[in-house]
Structure 1
Amino acid sequence: MSQHTKQTVWTVTKKIIFKLSNQKEETYDKATLAKVRKTLGKPLSEATEIWPILFENLPEEFLSSYQQPSYEELAIYTALQLYALHQQGVSTSVMLDDSKPYENIGSALGKLRKEDDTTSIDRRFNTMITSSTFEELTYHLRHLISLLKVESPVIQVDYSGLANDLYWFLNNSQENVRLNWARAYYKQIKGEKNNDN
């Protein structure tokens, strides 16, 4: 499976978000993102508003030939919803740009931890990360993204990386995804201090 010829969940999600964030007319952009937000909590089979945005950008091999959505469809659909939720009412892009090093969602959410009281956010993060189903995981992710938007609107998220993680969560790699998110979330960033050791 060569990465340069085969499209990945990561590259396809990045391409769709790039299209969404670079619409020529701002009103069109807002209307499109509003359509995507309308699908929050809906199964893909009922999310007619997002079908053109999603399906016209997916490569053939991502499209399900069965009644159930493919893992690729679900992962990208969910990441687009979370992006649209996060971008609502925010003038600068919430998508982590390419000039910054990759960080998973755990790292972005870890920035919500306050030195004095981490109990509340830690509890929410742990509830999300121990979700047993994809539906439960995305439900908690929606709440955490909403919190992120309110508490720290400047924090950006790599939504293409999130889509990739969601794909692997669906594809029986939940433990790896949980561990990677937890490592990034709990990692203490002490600025220059760790260079002294």
Structure 2
Amino acid sequence: MTTTDRRPMYWEEFSPDSARAGAELACLRRGVGREPGNVPEMWRFHRVRISDHEARTGAPSASLTAEHAALTLFAVHQQSQRKSMHRQGMGLGASLRLLRQSEKYKKNPQALNARVNALATSADVPELAYHLRGLITQLRGIGQPLDYTSLFYDVLAWHSPEGQERTRRRWGAQYYDWAESKAKQPQTD
């Protein structure tokens, strides 16, 4: 699924000031730990398209599974927050790096490093979602947003070994700040 052939995702249009925000988030949190598509209250929040075969058979597609994970994680993250916890361009690794630099982990980052390593070595999407849920709760604790559209694509990529490898490298680069930035580059005159 490309960004040009899809409808806006729920978190992209979410407003914490909406009168129905709390009720919608509660509906989405009911899906935590459940199979994609098995929580009727969540159906109206899904935006991905599935094939006719998937619709007829009821088999959860990779895209439905990824969206389900992102929706439930967003609902956990957004709970009791006054600003949106979706921020375009803020990758998971970068958000977790800011968590590691927060007062909570500044003196002992090894505890968070171990949790991030457990996430990065998840064998499948259900294990990945389990580890993400714990880390998202930590991010909520410091009010640190992340890009849920990017997270959706990360979970979608987790369905293949190559996708897992690419996603791990991107998270690692963000978490350990491997990327060169203009501020880090030496001045050449």
TM range (shorter): 0.7 to 0.9
1:3 to partner: Cα distance: 5.9
Q: Where does 1:1-197 land on structure 2 (aligned, <5 Å)?
A: 4=4, 6-7=5-6, 12=7, 14-19=8-13, 21-22=14-15, 26-54=18-46, 57-61=47-51, 64-65=54-55, 66-97=57-88, 102-114=89-101, 115-150=106-141, 152-153=142-143, 155-172=144-161, 173-187=163-177, 194-196=184-186
Inter-CA distance 64–180: structure 2 relative to 1 (3 Å threshold): same
* Structure 2: tracts of 5 or more residues without a match: none
CA distance in 2: counterparts of 1:52 and 1:80, whole angstroms? 12
2:156 corresponds to which letter in structure 1?
Answer: Y
Equivalent residues of 1:85, 1:145 under 8 A apart: yes
Structure 1: stretches of 5+ with no match in the other structure: none
CA 1:36–1:62: 2 relative to 1, 3 Å: farther
Q: Return the letter of the residue paired with 1:16.
A: Y
The structural deviation recorded for 1:28 is 1.3
CA distance in 1, matches of 2:82, 2:91: 22
Q: Deviations over 1:59-88 (max 9, x none)?
A: 354982333200111111111111111100
Q: Distance in 1 between matches of 2:26 and 2:68?
A: 14
**Cα distance change, pair 117–193 in 1 and its aligned pair in 2 (3 A):** farther
Task: Give 1:130's aligned amino acid.
Answer: T
Higher relative contact order (CA 8 A, sep 6+): 1
Alignment partners' CA distance in 2, 1:139 and 1:185:
19
Paired with 1:109 and 1:122, the residues of 2 have a C-alpha distance of 9
- Worse overlay, 69-78 or 40-49: 40-49
Query: Deviation string for 1:118-172 (max 9, x for gaps)?
Result: 111001100111111211111000000001111x21x221001100111111144
Kindly, what percent of the aligned residue pairs are identical?
Answer: 26
RMSD: 2.7
Q: Cα–Cα, structure 1 residues 177 and 140, in superposed 2: closer, same or farther, change >3 Å?
A: same
Query: Following the alignment from structure 2 to structure 1, what is the Cα–Cα distance between the partners of residues 178 and 130?
Result: 27
| Cα distance change of structure 1 residues 63 and 89 upon mapping to structure 2, 3 Å threshold | farther
Worse overlay, 167-176 or 177-186: 167-176
Cα deviation, 1:39-65, whole Å, max 9, x if unaligned, reads 1111124322201221xx333549823
TM-score calculated relative to the size of structure 2: 0.83
One-letter amino acid matched to 1:79: A
Between Structure 1 and Structure 2, how many residues are aligned?
Answer: 181
> 2 CA distance for matches of 1:132 and 1:125?
14
Structure 1 distance, partners of 2:153, 2:68, is: 11
